[in-house]
Amino acid sequence: MLDGNAIAGTLSAAFGGDMTLVVSKCGGCGARGPLAETAVYVRAPGLVMRCRSCDAVLVVVVERDGRYCVDIRGVAELCTSTTTPTLP
Amino acid sequence: MNWSIATVVDVLAETHRTASIVLRVPGWPGHRAGQHVDVRLTAEDGYQAQRSYSIASAPEDDTLMLTVERLDDGEVSSYLAGELRAGDELELRGPIGGYFVWDGPFGGPLMLIGGGSGIVPLRAMLRHRIARAGAVPVRLLYSARTLSEVIYHDELLAAAREPGVDIRLTLTREQPDGWDGYDRRIDRDLVADAGFAAADRPLVYVCGPTAFVEVAADALVSLGHEPGRIRTERFGPTGR
């Protein structure tokens, strides 16, 4: 198991920008967190991102011949976030 | 973000399972400490395999360096850390990632916690901190199984002599005679002893195998560190 940091390149290619700081809300349990923190499985058919709280599938990314198809049924919401950690 | 061709300048043996690959990448835009690149290998029959690797070099370094751990079942890592030679070419894209990064202006104190090859992006942050010669206090807690598996050993010893830099090692499986560092797996007491106090509000970066990161992150939160100031990067047995 990896996390969202490891597939940042593929997400960036699919979405057109860095996605690791984007905060997702799980469509199953409602937990929120940056995509960098999701549990990622790269040996499934496609890349599978799962909720770290309830294990529901959030996102599946399939690549073929340089084209990307992203299944986001498991996500209730995607929100941009600040680019810096919580500062004092 | 497009794939570009990098040329291998040098391959350095770090430990018996890890090697550092020094690369020249025409048009490289620069990177932030903690970022990754994706490396893609293409076989003669067109089969492609792609992996993400942390950048080991600091933004200030002249060349890009990756440090790769050779995994037993690693079809990419066994090539990169076993067969690759100076003069070879690699396809890569990057820099990638905006989450697990530390820029000087973020400040500190800076707490780095690494397990195994999880030291790689932390090395970039440590070098970045030292290159800036800033006043940000930094502590590194690095867990390895044995002394011979400590990546960047000599460099870390030298770094520990820099002002404001505190480096602690824990060797979990085997310790040399007279070892005065830590000798156990990471736990709450180790994080409390080696780390900054929560009241100091450090920025904490944790990188390592999934179980290692979970223990460290849980310990940090239970010690009162703010989740918003803890950033993590996990890897498993596959596809580092």
- Taking only residues 119 to 178 of chain B, the set having a beta carbon closer than 8 angstroms to any beta carbon of chain A reads none
Helix (H) or strand (E) holding A41: strand A39-41
Inter-chain contact A6–B96, Cβ cutoff 8 Å? no
pLDDT band at B33 (very low <50, low <70, confident <90, very high): very high
Inter-chain contact A34–B99, Cβ cutoff 8 Å? yes
Q: Which residue type does B81 have?
A: A
Whether B29 has its CB under 8 Å from any CB of chain A: the answer is no
| Dihedral class, residue B152 (left if φ above 0, else alpha if ψ from -120 to 50, else beta) | left
Walk across the sheet containing B48-54 and list its strands: B48-54, B36-42, B89-96, B4-13, B18-24, B64-69
Distance from CA of B181 to the nearest CA of A (A): 30
Which tens digits make up the pLDDT trace of B114-147? 999 999 999 999 999 999 877 899 999 999 999 9
Segment B42-59 shows an average pLDDT of 93
Distance from CA of A25 to the nearest CA of B (A): 17
Residues of A in contact with B48 (CB under 8 A): none
In sequence order, what are the residues at sequence separation of 6 or more whose Cβ sits closer than 8 angstroms to the Cβ of residue B163?
none
Q: What is the pLDDT of residue B108?
A: 85
pLDDT band at A85 (very low <50, low <70, confident <90, very high): low
How many CB atoms within 10 Å of residue A3?
Answer: 26
pLDDT band at A84 (very low <50, low <70, confident <90, very high): low
Helices (H), A4-87: 8-15
Mean confidence (pLDDT) of chain A: 91
Report the residue of B96, B117, B203 to disrupt the A interface, i.e. the one with the largest count of A CBs within 10 Å. B96
Segment B177-186 shows an average pLDDT of 96
pLDDT band at B153 (very low <50, low <70, confident <90, very high): very high
Walk me through the domains of chain B, giving residue ranges and CATH numbers: 4-96 (2.40.30.10), 104-235 (3.40.50.80)
Helices (H), chain B: 77-80, 119-131, 153-159, 188-194, 210-222
Q: What is the pLDDT of residue B240?
A: 33
Inter-chain contact A85–B203, Cβ cutoff 8 Å? yes
* Closest residue, chain A, to B232 (C-alpha): A37
Which tens digits make up the pLDDT trace of A25-73? 999 999 999 999 999 998 888 999 999 999 999 999 998 888 999 999 9
* Closest residue, chain B, to A88 (C-alpha): B201
Please name the residue that has the structure tokens 């940091």: A5
CA–CA separation, B163 vs B133, rounded Å?
Answer: 9
Whether B225 has its CB under 8 Å from any CB of chain A: the answer is no
What tokens were used for B49? Answer: 């395999």
Mean confidence (pLDDT) of chain B: 94
How many Cβ pairs within 8 Å bridge chains A and B? 82
Which tens digits make up the pLDDT trace of B69-121? 998 888 899 999 999 999 999 999 999 999 999 999 999 899 999 999 999 99
More confident residue, B72 or B17: B17
